[in-house]
Amino acid sequence: MADVMKRFETIISSALKEAMSDVYITGGHPMVSRKNGIIQFHTASSWAHKDVDALVRALLNRRQLADLRERKSVDYAISIGGARLRTNVFTTERGMSLAIRILPGQIPTIEALNLHPSLHEISKMSSGLVLFCGATGSGKTTTIASVINDINNSRKAHIVMLENPIEYRFFSRQSFIQQRELGSQMSSFEQGLLDVLRENPDVIVVGELREPKTMQLTLNAAESGHLVIATMHASSPEEAIYRLCSAAPLEAQNEIRFQLAETLNWIIVQQLVYIERAGYRVPLLTILKATLAVKNIIRENKLNQMNSVMQIGKNEGMFTSDRYMKDYLDTLISFIPYSQAFHPSTMEETEDINYQSPLTEDLMGDILPNKPLYRQEPQPVLVKSGYSDEGVDRVLSIDDDSPLMDLRIKPKK
């Protein structure tokens, strides 16, 4: 097992040097990586099935292995070689497979990610909703991490992050940061949002808005005076607004529109585009700001007018993706390369801070009796009958489904 881990660490170290974003490992197949969005095969590096099994055992803890057996897949994040790895382990026809997203050990700054400097404005917000949207793998999590670190370095705040899994590990600087992971520290995003309102936060980060109840609780949190930063899968600001409003029952959608209009600050849609003169991908943003005109469009449900408002909203700092490319990316003299933004963490940031309290570990097994989950045949109960002049023990079988009349002891004929 030690040899397998050493080999894995070597692969991750090499991936960092080569600026790879993803690594894929499965049994009986060459290793695969992704760089600048392009898949590459590594025919010289192939894993045997038993080696992949040994790697999975070495990487997962007991709870994660139990989840893997039950669901046939598991998400988790781990720090190795100064990098943060967001990993999905899943079963295929080849056996165990790992899809590994490589994240920087140190959280990049907004500038290091080649993002527009206006994103610094988010750190000054005291309340409201900021939505980061885009497809899976578009870099939303890294952008949010840079914004949260901007808050952490610039003002005193209590930040509670609800994640699945915890991808970047934060260390309190000016702000006090607490991170909760779905499964190990909270049972659901819904429960996490119910809890967080009693934890006196200033900033709340919600890993993903999918379920209608989670969306509603997120709006409630923003409405109650907190700065809420959340992610959603949407390809445009209009789609994000439509999804939020249509998640509610038809009779409640008008109320949701008014609530969203009152709480919304920004919607940012992100994608990664390859810049020829840079030689790598950089974020391309669409930025919608909740001006008075935008709020009225949301209230009146006239989303078809949103693009027109964005086109004329240049002075308010709004960007369509085309304008962002033309007015910002095309004007940059140079870009900060991936290798500079994504570098290993320091000794302080590689400390193991994970602690599972015994008060929350496998409690149900200690409290509840070990009752079988299936129906068993009723066990006979020995009773002394007062109706027998012989004074002998009778055997009475009591079935849960038996009517009480059937339990009478019939007199001897």
Q: How many residues are recorded in the chain?
A: 413
Residues of the chain with CATH 3.40.50.300: 117-344
Instruction: Give the closest residue to 324 by CA, choosing from 269, 279, 242, 277.
Output: 269
* Domain 2-103: assigned CATH number: 3.30.450.90
First to last CA, the chain: 75
CATH 3.40.50.300 is right for the domain spanning 117-344: yes
Name, in order, each residue with C-beta under 8 angstroms of 262's C-beta and a sequence gap of 6 or more: 223, 295
* Distance from C-alpha of 105 to C-alpha of 376, rounded to nearest angstrom: 54
Question: Distances in Å between the alpha carbon of 362 and those of 6, 232, 357, 367?
Answer: 32, 32, 10, 9
Residues of the chain with CATH 3.30.450.90: 2-103
Question: Is the overall model pTM greater than 0.85, yes or no?
Answer: no
Q: Calculate the dihedral angle through the C-alpha atoms of 289, 293, 299, 302, rounding to the nearest 10 degrees.
A: -100
Q: Hey, what are 198's tokens?
A: 């009693």
Q: Please list the pLDDT of the chain residue by residue as tens digits (413 residues).
A: 779 999 999 999 999 888 899 999 999 999 999 998 899 999 999 999 999 999 999 999 998 999 999 999 999 999 887 788 999 999 999 999 999 999 887 899 999 999 999 999 999 999 999 999 999 989 999 999 999 999 999 999 999 999 999 999 999 999 999 999 998 899 999 999 999 999 999 999 999 999 999 999 999 999 999 999 999 999 999 999 999 999 999 999 999 999 999 999 999 999 999 999 998 899 999 999 999 999 999 999 999 999 999 999 999 999 999 999 999 999 999 999 877 766 666 544 444 466 777 887 654 344 334 444 344 444 444 444 444 444 444 444 445 444 545 545 555 55
Question: Distances in Å between the alpha carbon of 317 and those of 75, 99, 139, 198, 287?
Answer: 37, 38, 22, 35, 8
Q: Calculate the dihedral angle through the C-alpha atoms of 295, 296, 297, 299, rounding to the nearest 10 degrees.
A: 90
Residue pointed to by tokens 């027998």: 388
- Is residue 209 within 8 Å of 231, Cβ to Cβ? yes
* Distance from C-alpha of 117 to C-alpha of 253, rounded to nearest angstrom: 35
Preceding omega of 30 cis (within 30 degrees of 0): no
